[in-house]
Amino acid sequence: MVARDQAMPHGQHELDVSIIVVSYNTRAMTLTCLDSVAAETVAVRHEVIVVDNASTDGSADAIAGHPSAPVLIRSAANLGFARGNNLAARRARGRYILLLNPDTVVRDRAIDRLAAFARARPEALIWGGRTRFADGRLNPASCWGRMTPWNLFCRAAGLTGMFPDSALYNGEAYGGWARDSVREVDIVSGCFLLIPAALWRRLDGFDPAFYMYGEEADLCLRARRLGARPAVTPEATIIHHGGASEATRVGKMTRLLAAKTLLVRRHWHPLIAPLGAALIAAWPLSRWLALATAARTGRRPGAGEVAAAWREIWSARKQWRSGYGAGEPASAAQLSTSR
């Protein structure tokens, strides 16, 4: 097991930002990410630390030869996203730590702009930007609202899917907001997250109980208890492809449901946490039944295939209904590290 973050040695910070990238079988994308960091980050003194999670596609050797000369940590096993970032953060020398997914492309000096935003809004303590897909469409997954009984009910009841642009029915995803304004948010995505190194170490980094997904939500919610008010700015915009090393929808949802269940058990009052877990469990069941009905009536082309996937997710509920900790829902070799 990887040790949790240790205290930074005393002395002056020589660097503004330590940029951490955790890579797993995303060789081409990781190299493109590193190219963009080198080309677009000019105003802040920085280092790049890459953890390669035992990739089998030649990623480590290619990263080692990259012209920007990143610090490379070759892991003999796939540590997952949380442990990989914790490992890299132990080597970080910057005043700030920036978590950056390997399937991202930095545009228009986004890291410089995010650092400037942090200096202008120091009370936030955690900062994020805006993400777009490669075709220019908004990728709304740069930030999230916290889970509540209401928004879990809306998702389980299908209201979130019917009204995705509604702030009322899609509160967890901030429905209807184009991420085009500065705003305080509950959770900044770990694909592009800036945090003071001192706060990261005070929080002891990511909780490794979150094997995949949920780790940044847990981090941000713990930080809020210490006074942080995470915020995002549209001035710092990157491309985030999303899910580049995720093998299947079923595997992704199994891990996501486990993470959400653990978040509810960790951050909700014990009296209502069982309700949250039940609503999370109702989501795949309701999707399976609704899509199976649509497939039988022929109202939605392709509904049968999607229904089969949700049925498989529901059938795997022993792997996620108790959250992480009751048993890892996927072997370490199956864990992806970009979301």
What is the residue extent of each domain of the chain? 15-145+185-240, 249-329
In one letter, which amino acid is 108?
D
- Cα separation, 265 vs 323, in Å, equals 8
| Inter-CA distances, 111 with 30, 65, 193, 229, Å | 16, 23, 10, 20
Spans in the chain with pLDDT lower than 50:
1-12, 326-338
Instruction: Please indicate, yes or no, whether the overall pTM of this predicted structure exceeds 0.85.
Output: yes
Q: What is the pLDDT of residues 176-200, one digit of tens each?
A: 999 999 999 999 999 999 999 999 9
What is the model's pLDDT at position 303?
87
pLDDT in tens, 303-323: 899 999 999 999 999 999 988
DSSP state of 269: -
CATH architecture of 15-145+185-240: Alpha-Beta Complex (3.90)
